Amino acid sequence: MTESTATTRTSRPPLLRAMVPALAAAIALASWWWAPSGDAALMTDRALLGLIEDSDLYTVDVDPAPTVWEHYTIAQGDSLANLWTNQWQLPEAALYTLLNDPKSADILRQVSPGQHLEWRADGEGSLQALRLWTDPSKGWEWNLQNGQLHRTALTYERNLHQVAVRGEIRTSLSAALAEMPSLGGRAQAIAAEMGELLPLASKARKGDRFSLLVDLEYIDDAEGAYAARLAGFDYEGEQISVRAARFDDDRFYTPEGKSLLPGFRRTPFNSEYRVSSPFNLHRHHPITGRVTPHLGTDFAMPVGTRVLAPAKGVVRTVSYHPLAGRFVVIDHGQGYQTRYLHLQKAEVRPGQEVKQGDVIALSGNTGRSTGSHLHYELRLNGRPLNPMTASLPSRERLQPDELRRFQNQYAAYFDLHEQESATAVAGNGNRRDNAG
């Protein structure tokens, strides 16, 4: 590891994936497979499908997403090792690399409650950068450069601001927020976060009203915020009326403690099936023999087995790829997404809403495959998680003691908007907490 001191924040591009010499041939093959057919109505923008890393089906980037900074404030009783591997699902190898450096190990062993950690991982789960703020004006940053983590002292100041904004939809939420300078240039990020929580793409209407509570982070005296996070919102619309806020577990709840994030089943089927290939970021591919990450879990099952939605969500993609075969992608909200590859048949269409237990597809053996099976992926903010060990949303309501803390934390915010919206809600007949 190397160490340096920085007085300004610099942005570094994500790791570039290696392109193979046969890429042109692969694209030509993909173009042949993607020619218009009777299934054209089920197919979505092929630009979302990228062939990378020796055209292995497990690195087909079905839905490429920009890497984002994820945040966590250390609480009493937290164990960094447990958070790293179980909650954050970051690779153990990166933690071992950090701890093998005496200075880095000493810094991380002294992490204490109240200190703030930020990290960024790529689409394959590999750590790109880590920040530890020991106090608002100092800390440490580690960045991946040429395969090594380089440590830098943070000497700029981290300032936190909370702002409240309100407005009305004329064309879209994104357009409305773009007119609000108090958001520090992070309007698009906040609009995207709201889109993960509510079905705005299909149900937002002109005249809908909203109020947002947003946490902004600034570095030194920079004009724009470098990070923004939605803390609470109140949306009153023709088809959606929901009020909610973020709690300690980073999930959103209504004033009554009801979760906006649906509970998840561990597996997307009813019977028990053998795991034929587990989630493994360093897996040897059975066909190519090369070390390529396996970003999901394979279950050996007969062709035609019913595949079920593990949670409520909206179907994002139904399509076909020469390597992944027929596949389905479902968005579940708050950054959670599931993917299903090698299907025989899709039973859903893009834009369709599904609930837990709905049949979404029949398993198959399509695309590049060694036998009949289902390849199942779970992602959070574009980052792959092990679906068999990840911490899944399971509760639908806060426990009584949690509910009291939650209501106390947001009492002023909820009370204010309850008073302001009571007359309007009664007048137009909207029902609260109705997102669908």
Q: Classify domain 158-260+399-428 by CATH number.
A: 3.10.450.350
Extended strands (E) in 301-429: 306-308, 313-321, 325-333, 336-346, 353-354, 359-363, 373-380, 383-385
Q: How far apart are CA 296 and CA 346, in angstroms?
A: 19
Q: Could you confirm whether domain 39-65+262-396 is CATH 2.70.70.10?
A: yes
DSSP symbol at 226: S
Q: Are strands 3-6 and 148-154 parallel, antiparallel or unpaired?
A: parallel
Per-residue model confidence (pLDDT) at position 221: 66
Pick the CATH number of 69-154 from 3.10.450.350, 1.10.8.10, 1.10.274.100, 1.10.10.10: 3.10.450.350
Q: Is there a shared CATH topology between the 69-154 domain and the 158-260+399-428 domain? A: yes
Question: Of 46-50, 86-90, 302-306, which range is least confident?
Answer: 46-50
| SS3 state at 33 | helix
More confident residue, 221 or 29: 221
Q: In DSSP terms, which residues pair with 97 in a beta bridge?
A: none
Per-residue model confidence (pLDDT) at position 418: 60
More confident residue, 31 or 383: 383
State the virtual CA torsion across 424, 430, 434, 436 in degrees, nearest 10: -130
For the chain, count helices (H), then strands (E).
9, 21
Q: Are strands 353-354 and 373-380 parallel, antiparallel or unpaired?
A: unpaired
- The domain locations on the chain are 39-65+262-396, 69-154, 158-260+399-428
Per-residue model confidence (pLDDT) at position 246: 92
Per-residue model confidence (pLDDT) at position 288: 64
More confident residue, 350 or 52: 350
> Mean pLDDT for the chain?
78
Q: How far apart are CA 16 and CA 55, in angstroms?
A: 15
CA 157 to chain centre: 28
- Rounded mean pLDDT, 35-47: 33
Per-residue model confidence (pLDDT) at position 340: 97
Q: What is the pLDDT of residues 243-277, one digit of tens each?
A: 999 998 888 999 999 998 878 899 999 988 999 98
Q: How far apart are CA 315 and CA 332, in angstroms?
A: 9
Per-residue model confidence (pLDDT) at position 294: 85
Say if residue 374's pLDDT is above 50: yes
Decide if 157 contacts 136 (C-beta within 8 A).
Answer: yes
Say if residue 230's pLDDT is above 90: yes
Per-residue model confidence (pLDDT) at position 291: 67
Q: What is the pLDDT of residues 55-85, one digit of tens each?
A: 334 444 444 455 677 888 888 888 888 888 7
For 28, residues 6+ apart whose C-beta sits below 8 A from its C-beta are none
Percentage with pLDDT > 90 across the chain: 39
For the chain, the maximum distance between any two Cα atoms, rounded to a whole number of angstroms, is: 66
Q: What is the pLDDT of residues 310-365, one digit of tens each?
A: 999 999 999 999 889 999 999 998 889 999 999 999 999 999 999 999 999 999 99
- Rounded mean pLDDT, 7-30: 38
Q: Which amino acid is at 293?
A: P
Sheet with 116-121: strands ordered across: 3-6, 148-154, 138-145, 127-135, 116-121, 70-73
pTM comes to 0.60
The confidence band for 189, taking pLDDT boundaries of 50, 70 and 90, is: confident
Q: What is the pLDDT of residues 385-394, one digit of tens each?
A: 899 988 887 7
Per-residue model confidence (pLDDT) at position 436: 52
Q: How far apart are CA 225 and CA 221, in angstroms?
A: 10
| SS3 state at 429 | coil
Q: Tokens representing 326?
A: 């027929």
Give the highest mean pLDDT range of 136-150, 174-188, 210-224: 174-188
Say if residue 150's pLDDT is above 50: yes
Q: How far apart are CA 100 and CA 110, in angstroms?
A: 15
Per-residue model confidence (pLDDT) at position 382: 81
The confidence band for 44, taking pLDDT boundaries of 50, 70 and 90, is: very low
Say if residue 4's pLDDT is above 60: no
For 237, residues 6+ apart whose C-beta sits below 8 A from its C-beta are 169, 203, 204, 205, 207, 208, 209, 430
Per-residue model confidence (pLDDT) at position 344: 96
More confident residue, 291 or 55: 291
Per-residue model confidence (pLDDT) at position 362: 97
Nearest partner of 244 among 229, 256, 233, judged by Cα? 233
Q: What letters, b where the CB count within 10 A reaches 16 and e where it falls short, cover 255-273?
A: bebebbbbebeebbbeeeb
For 293, residues 6+ apart whose C-beta sits below 8 A from its C-beta are 58, 59, 124, 125, 280, 281, 282, 283, 384
**Torsion over CA: 193, 123, 307, 265 (sign):** negative
Q: What is the pLDDT of residues 397-409, one digit of tens each?
A: 898 999 999 999 8
Q: What is the pLDDT of residues 107-134, one digit of tens each?
A: 998 898 888 898 888 766 788 899 998 8
Q: How far apart are CA 319 and CA 366, in angstroms?
A: 12
Decide if 140 contacts 153 (C-beta within 8 A).
Answer: yes
